[in-house]
Amino acid sequence: MVNIKIDLENREKLRRLHTTTHVVNHCARQVLGNHVWQNGSNLKPEFGTLDITHYNNLTMEEIFEIEKLANKTVFENKKVKIDELSRDKAEEKYGFTLYQGGAIPMKTLRVISVEDSDIEACGGIHMESTGGIGLIKIVETSKIQDGVVRLKYVVNEFALDAIYANEVLLKESCDVFSVDKSSIVRTSEKFFNDWKKQNKEIENLKKELGELRIASIETSKDDEFDVADMDMGSAMQIYTKVMSNKPKLVLKANKFVIGPVGYLVEGAKKELNKGKFSVFII
Classify 226 as helix, strand or coil: strand
Name the domain boundary from 120, 140, 155. 155
16 and 151 share a domain?
yes
Q: Is residue 3, in this structure, part of any structural domain at all?
A: no
pLDDT band at 96 (very low <50, low <70, confident <90, very high): confident
Q: Has residue 118 got a pLDDT over 90?
A: no
Residue 133 pLDDT: 95
Classify 144 as helix, strand or coil: strand
Residue 119 pLDDT: 82
Q: Is residue 113, in this structure, part of any structural domain at all?
A: yes
Residue (of 169, 157, 104, 106) closest to 133 by Cα position: 157
12 and 132 share a domain?
yes
Residue type, 66: I
Q: Is residue 140, in this structure, part of any structural domain at all?
A: yes
Q: Is residue 33, in this structure, part of any structural domain at all?
A: yes
Alpha-carbon gap, residue 131 to 73, rounded angstroms? 8
Q: Has residue 124 got a pLDDT over 90?
A: no
Residue 112 pLDDT: 86
Residue 194 pLDDT: 93
Alpha-carbon gap, residue 236 to 210, rounded angstroms? 11
66 and 146 share a domain?
yes
Residues 6+ apart with CB under 8 A from 146: none
* Helix residue spans in 117-183 (DSSP H): 157-177
CATH number of the structural domain spanning residue 25? 3.30.980.10
**Whole-model pTM above 0.75?**
no
Residue (of 28, 31, 47, 30) closest to 39 by Cα position: 28
Render the burial of 108-126: b for 16+ CB within 10 Å, e for the rest. Answer: ebbbbbbeebbbbbbebeb
Name the domain boundary from 92, 126, 155. 155
Residue 107, sorted as left (phi over 0), alpha (psi -120 to 50) or beta, turns out to be alpha
CATH number of the structural domain spanning residue 255? 3.10.310.30
| Strand boundaries in 166-276, DSSP class E | 224-226, 250-252, 256-260, 270-273
Question: Which residues on adjacent β-strands are paired with residue 113?
Answer: 81, 119
Q: Has residue 120 got a pLDDT over 90?
A: no
15 and 105 share a domain?
yes
Cβ neighbour number for residue 200 with a 10 Å cutoff: 10
Residue 105 pLDDT: 76
Q: What pLDDT digit, counting tens, does each position of 33-79 carry? A: 999 999 889 999 999 999 999 999 999 999 999 999 999 999 999 99
Q: Which domain holds residue 57?
A: 8-155
Share of the chain above pLDDT 70, in %: 99
Classify 103 as helix, strand or coil: coil
Whether 81 and 178 have beta carbons less than 8 Å apart is answered as: no
Q: What pLDDT digit, counting tens, does each position of 180-236 carry? A: 999 999 999 999 999 999 999 988 988 888 888 899 999 999 999 999 988 899 899
Q: Is residue 52, in this structure, part of any structural domain at all?
A: yes
Residue 87 pLDDT: 87
Whether 36 and 148 have beta carbons less than 8 Å apart is answered as: no
16 and 150 share a domain?
yes
Classify 168 as helix, strand or coil: helix
Share of the chain above pLDDT 90, in %: 66
Tally of structural domains, the chain: 2
Name the domain boundary from 122, 155, 188. 155
Alpha-carbon gap, residue 209 to 135, rounded angstroms? 59
213 and 150 share a domain?
no
Residue 122 pLDDT: 84
Mean residue pLDDT across the chain: 91
